[in-house]
Copies of this chain bind each other. A is one copy, B any other.
Amino acid sequence: MFGYNGKILEVDLSNRIIDILSLDEELTRNYIGGSGLSAKIIYDETSPEIDPLDCRSPLVFMTGPFTNTIIPTSGRHAIAARSPLTGIWGEADVGGSWGISLKRAGYDGIKIKGASKTQVYLWIHSGKVEIRNAEHLWGIDTYRVEELLKKETDEKASVACIGPAGEYLVKFASIMHDGKNARVAGRCGLGAVMGAKKLKAIVVEGKGKTRIKDEKGLRRLVKKIIPQMREETAYLGNYGTTGSAVELEEIGDLPIKNWRQGRWKDGAKKLSGQTLLETIFSGNYHCPACPIGCGKEVKIREGKYSGVDGAAAEYETIATLGSLCLVDDLKAVSLANQLCNQYGMDTISTGGVIAFAMEAYEKGLINSSDLDGLELTWGNADAVIEMVRRIGERRGLGRFLGEGVRRAAEEIGGRASEFAIHVKGLELPGHDPRAFYSLALGYATSNRGACHLQAYSHPLEGWITMPDLGYSECLPPHTEKGKAELVIKLQNLMCMFDSLKICKYSLYGGIEPHHLVEFLNFITDWDIDLKEFMRVGERIFNLKRLYNVRCGISRKDDTLPPRLLTHTRGEGGAANTLPHLGRMLNEYYKLRGWSEDGIPLSSKLKEVDLDV
């Protein structure tokens, strides 16, 4: 089978049984790999009464047909499980070397079943799979544990691991990759699923090649694309993901002070990629097979934030641990970011819960005795850092915040849910739906809760075009018109990005849907067209929705926090905008072929060949 190893490794940690499942070609053509194939496995093997942290809830790591090829930005893999943070479909898409190593080791994915009684890690190499003792690694941070595991195994190995947050079952614990060149499977708390299984890490090394139908054709196309890609993404490569912070603040996209403040010009500048390059920047790092290279390294040698050495804070991190908390000190945010990486926690959710706690403190719903005297005031950088530690170690109020804003607000009760900014339990990333109306619909309907990447439609409201899908021009951002169609098309397309495994930033380098089809046809002998390609994306999106419907999701959950539906920013580029979510949803359900209550109709399921 071209493009695949045709094998999924199944590890039953309860019974210490290792099995190899064969992957049939029809399944790959129908669900591709990565996110799509994980969804199929999890949909088929679970039932809604099983708690996400129950040993019976499977955790899936999955590569795609693009993994371990020369396709630019294909160094990625997917991780999926029922989310302990949201209780619904959970997935994280992550870059780095690990997915490639897994595929080189001879597997397309790993399905982890059961839970170990003792602390273990997996070591996959040279055709062997070992379940090894990890007691001596428990409690060790992710940067250090990567070094130790490489020493115990092979310096060339790739490490996916959890930190103390995952061990302590923090509900937004991440799965970390590549040590201090951090690549983070951050969202949905999948690190807690690993923690519940007492699985500290999966270490993998391999040298295999993936069979490709037309290697020469693929090479020719890639060679043609790469120069243009480098050129068009030079800014991103130079300044990293924080390079647009100033611009995004101007247009009203950057969330500030728990989504309440309109402008914060100086703060955005202080946290930007431009400031980064002038101050603490210490180097670049790339995912394998990436011509963009957005990864930045930082080093702080002196002062109270010294010790920072490794991955710089990404845009999402400066937006959440920074602007959401009004912290404008890049060094402090860099340390908070590193601590999140080392404890193994999603920076978006961490920043979200701390901003929530700051507002609760401001409003007197938590007090300084709850905080052991900590002054959790807006902009107090040291308090943010201390809260990161407490969440990562489940100490004091950190225990409670580690459950995420939805549960924290329920616990506080009354008015607290007013400023718990999440959708379906997932904290919002750093993009304001009042700046790009498609984000409002995208957040409300994303299958993993509030997420800008599951549709990634807002670039088409500002920067990029996509003639393949009928978008030769950008859409105006502050209108509902046409957004339902846009979001649907892009959600379906992003299901393909997440299943093939290719980075969404490739869009900025001129990659268009037809390129992906061409890539896939060079790799496999399927000879599929754009129509089938998009229908597979639609199938995958609907499958995830069906999973969520089984978890109780329907229209009532397809909404936004009241603050974003009601309150205007008041100043800046999105001063007086408020998306009319209901109107967009109305159109969305109709175009999706779903019922008025947001349930896929059987006619639609038939159309996309979902026989469930």
Q: Which residues of A contact B (CB under 8 A)?
A: 260, 413-415, 417-419, 549, 552, 554-556, 558-559, 562-563, 565-568, 578, 580-583, 585-586, 589, 596-599
Contact = CB atoms under 8 A, between A and B. Distances in A.
A552 B414 contact: yes
Contact of A586 (B558, B566, B599): B566
Nearest 8 pairs between A and B by C-beta?
A565-B582, A414-B552, A566-B582, A580-B580, A415-B554, A418-B597, A566-B585, A567-B596
Given A415-B554, A415-B599, A568-B586, 14 more contacts: A260-B596, A415-B556, A417-B556, A418-B598, A419-B597, A558-B562, A563-B596, A566-B582, A566-B596, A567-B586, A578-B580, A578-B583, A578-B586, A580-B580
B415 A597 contact: yes
A562 B556 contact: yes
A439 to B, nearest CB: 15
A556 B565 CA distance: 10
A602 to B, nearest CB: 14
A418 B586 contact: no
Contacts of A565: 581-582
Contacts of A598: 418
Nearest to A551: B414
A85 B417 CA distance: 22
A560 to B, nearest CB: 9
A578 B582 contact: yes
- Among A260, A597, A598, the one with the most B-chain Cβ atoms within 10 Å of its Cβ is A597
A414 B597 CA distance: 12
* Protomer copies: 2
Contacts of A589: 566
A586 B554 CA distance: 26
A356 to B, nearest CB: 13
Contacts of A562: 555-556, 558-559
A583 B260 CA distance: 16
Contacts of A599: 415
A418 B583 contact: no
B580 A583 contact: yes
A254 to B, nearest CB: 19
Nearest to A415: B554
A596 B581 CA distance: 19
A49 to B, nearest CB: 12
20 contacts: A415-B556, A417-B556, A418-B554, A418-B555, A418-B556, A418-B597, A418-B598, A555-B562, A555-B563, A556-B562, A558-B562, A566-B596, A567-B586, A567-B596, A568-B586, A578-B580, A578-B586, A580-B580, A580-B583, A581-B582
A259 to B, nearest CB: 10
Contacts of A552: 413-415
A124 B257 CA distance: 59
- Among A558, A562, A581, the one with the most B-chain Cβ atoms within 10 Å of its Cβ is A562
A582 B556 CA distance: 16
A585 B418 CA distance: 14
A599 B415 CA distance: 10
Contacts of A581: 565-566, 582
A585 B562 CA distance: 10
Contacts of A583: 578, 580
Contacts of A596: 260, 563, 566-567
A281 to B, nearest CB: 38
A542 B80 CA distance: 49
Contacts of A413: 552
Nearest to A363: B597
A261 to B, nearest CB: 11
A586 B559 CA distance: 17
Nearest to A552: B414
- Among A556, A585, A586, the one with the most B-chain Cβ atoms within 10 Å of its Cβ is A556
A157 B147 CA distance: 90
A582 B559 CA distance: 12
Nearest to A567: B596
Nearest to A583: B578
Contacts of A414: 552, 554
A203 B413 CA distance: 42
